[in-house]
Structure 1
Amino acid sequence: MAFNLEEQEQLATINDWWRKYGSLVTWVVIIALAGYAGWGGWKYYQNSQAAQASQLYEELQKAVGAKDNAKVQRATADMQQKFSGTAYAEMAGMTAAKAAFDANDLNGAKTQLQWVIDHGQQEEYKTIAKIRLAGILLDQNAYDEGLKVLSGDVTPEFAGAVADRKGDILVAQNKLDEARVAYQFAIDKTTQGGPGRQLIQIKLDAIGGAPARAAA
C-alpha cells in the first residue's frame, strides 16, 4: 500500500511538473529533432551534389581526352552553375583552363582561371590560378594587369612561385633591379633542391645575379 501511495505521489509530482513545463520541453524536443533532421538533410544534399558533380567531372575528363575544347567548356560551365559549392567546380575550372590554353583559346583560359580566383574555396587552387593567369597576361604583354593579379597575400608554400612569376613580368618590363629582388626572394622561399630553384637561379644569373642588398 505504501508503495502504491508513493507511486501516486510521484505521478502527481510528474503531472504537476508537466503542466508547468511540458509545453516548453515539447518545443525543445521538436526543435532538436528538426535540427537533427535538417543536418541530416543537408548532409544528404551535400553527398548528392558531390556524387552528381563527380559524374559530370568524369564526362569532362573524357572530353579532355578527346581534345574537344568546346565540350570541355560547356561541361565546366554546367558544373560551375550547378555545383559551384563543390571542389569539383574548382578542379573543372583548372582543367578547362588548360584545355582552352592547349587549344589556343586564351580568352577561354583566362575566363576559367578568373572564375577559380573569384569563386574558389581552396587557397591552393586560387593561387595556382593566379600564377597561370599572370603567365597568360605576360604572353599578351599585359604586364601591369599580370602584376595586379599576383598582388595581395600569398600562402607561404606558394610565395616562391608567385615571386618567380613576378620576376618574369618585371624582366619583360625591363625593370631588372626589381626583377632581381623578386627572383632572389623566390629562391629564398623555394625548398633547397626543389625542381624550380635551379631554373630561378639561371634566370637571376642571366640578368646580372643577386641584387645588391642581397649580396651585401
Structure 2
Amino acid sequence: MAYDLEEQEKLDALKDWWDKNGVKIMVLAFLFALAILGWRGYQWYEQHQATKAMGYFEALEVASAQPSEESTARILAASEALKKDHAKSGYTSRGLLVAAQALQKQGDLDGAKAQLQWLAQHSAETALVDMARLRLAGILLEQTDYVAALEQLKNPSAAYVGLFADRRGDIHYAQGQLEQARSEWTKALAALNEVAYNQIVQLKLDALGKE
C-alpha cells in the first residue's frame, strides 16, 4: 500500500510538472524541428542556386568557344542571368570575365566593357576586381579613352601593383608621354616576378632608349 502511495505521489508530481512546463517543451521541440527543417531547406536552396549558376557558366563557356551571332546572343543572355539571379556567386564573376574576353575577340568592345564594369563594381573578390579593372583599362586604351583608362588603375592590391604599372606605362606611351611611360615600366619591372613578363617590360624600356 505504501508503495502504491509513493508511486501515486510521483505520478502526481510528474503531472503537476507537465501541467506547468509541457506547453513550453512542446513549443521548444516544435521550434527545434522547424529550425532543422529551415536549415535543410536553406542548404537545398543554396545548392540548387549554385547548380543553376554553374549551368549558366558552362553554357557561357560553350558559347564563347563558338563565335557567331547566335553564340553572342547566348553569351549575353547567360551573363545577364548570372548578374540578375546569381550576383554573389563565384560563377558570376568568372563567367563575366569569360564573356568579356569573348566579346572583345568579336570586336564588341562596348559589350566587353559593360561586363567588366559590372564585375569591378559588384564582385567581392579583390583579385577578380583588379583583373577586371586591368582588362577594362586595356579596352579603354584601345578606345583611346586615356583618362578613364588611368582612372581604372588606381590603388591596386599587392598582387597587381606591377601589372597596373605596366598598363599605365602603355597608356602614357600611347599619349606620347615617354618619361611617364619609362617611370611606370620601371616600377613594373621592380614589382613583377614573372620572368617572361619582365622580359616584355624590359623590351619596352629598351625601345625607349636611355634617358
TM bracket (short chain): 0.7 to 0.9
- State the Cα distance separating 1:21 from its structure 2 match: 5.5
Q: Which one of the candidate residues 139, 147, 156 is aligned to 2:158?
A: 156
Mark the CA change 1:2 to 1:125 in structure 2 (over 3 Å): closer, same or farther.
farther
In structure 2, the partner of 1:189 is: 191
1:138–1:169 Cα contact (<8 Å) kept: yes
* Inter-partner Cα distance in structure 1 for 2:107 and 2:118: 19
In structure 1, the partner of 2:87 is: 84
1:113–1:130 Cα contact (<8 Å) kept: yes
Mark the CA change 1:31 to 1:2 in structure 2 (over 3 Å): closer, same or farther.
same
* Inter-partner Cα distance in structure 2 for 1:132 and 1:11: 77
Mark the CA change 1:51 to 1:206 in structure 2 (over 3 Å): closer, same or farther.
same
When the two structures are aligned, how many residues end up with a matched partner? 208
TM-score for the superposition, normalised by structure 1: 0.80
1:33-72 maps to which residues of 2 (within 5 A)? 33-68=33-68, 69-72=72-75
* Inter-partner Cα distance in structure 2 for 1:137 and 1:162: 14
Mark the CA change 1:41 to 1:208 in structure 2 (over 3 Å): closer, same or farther.
farther
Q: Secondary structure at the match of 1:195?
A: helix
CA offsets per residue over residues 20-79 of structure 1, 9 Å max, x none? 665555555444443333332222111111112222222222222221323211222122
Mark the CA change 1:177 to 1:62 in structure 2 (over 3 Å): closer, same or farther.
same
Matched AA of 1:97:
A
Matched AA of 1:179:
A
- State the Cα distance separating 1:180 from its structure 2 match: 2.5
- State the Cα distance separating 1:107 from its structure 2 match: 0.6
In structure 1, the partner of 2:207 is: 206
- State the Cα distance separating 1:103 from its structure 2 match: 1.0
* Inter-partner Cα distance in structure 2 for 1:57 and 1:139: 27
Consecutive unaligned residues in structure 2, runs of 5 or more: none
1:112-123 maps to which residues of 2 (within 5 A)? 112-123=115-126
* Inter-partner Cα distance in structure 1 for 2:38 and 2:210: 61
Matched AA of 1:103:
Q
The percent of aligned pairs where both chains have the same amino acid is 34
User: Which piece of structure 1 moves more, 157-166 or 12-21?
Assistant: 12-21
1:180–1:209 Cα contact (<8 Å) kept: no
Matched AA of 2:208:
I
Q: Secondary structure at the match of 1:108?
A: helix
User: Which piece of structure 1 moves more, 19-28 or 135-144?
Assistant: 19-28
* Inter-partner Cα distance in structure 2 for 1:77 and 1:16: 63
- State the Cα distance separating 1:82 from its structure 2 match: 2.2
Consecutive unaligned residues in structure 1, runs of 5 or more: 211-216
Mark the CA change 1:207 to 1:35 in structure 2 (over 3 Å): closer, same or farther.
farther
- State the Cα distance separating 1:165 from its structure 2 match: 0.9
Matched AA of 2:168:
K
Matched AA of 1:136:
I
* Inter-partner Cα distance in structure 2 for 1:16 and 1:177: 91
* Inter-partner Cα distance in structure 2 for 1:168 and 1:159: 15
* Inter-partner Cα distance in structure 2 for 1:54 and 1:45: 14
- State the Cα distance separating 1:101 from its structure 2 match: 0.8
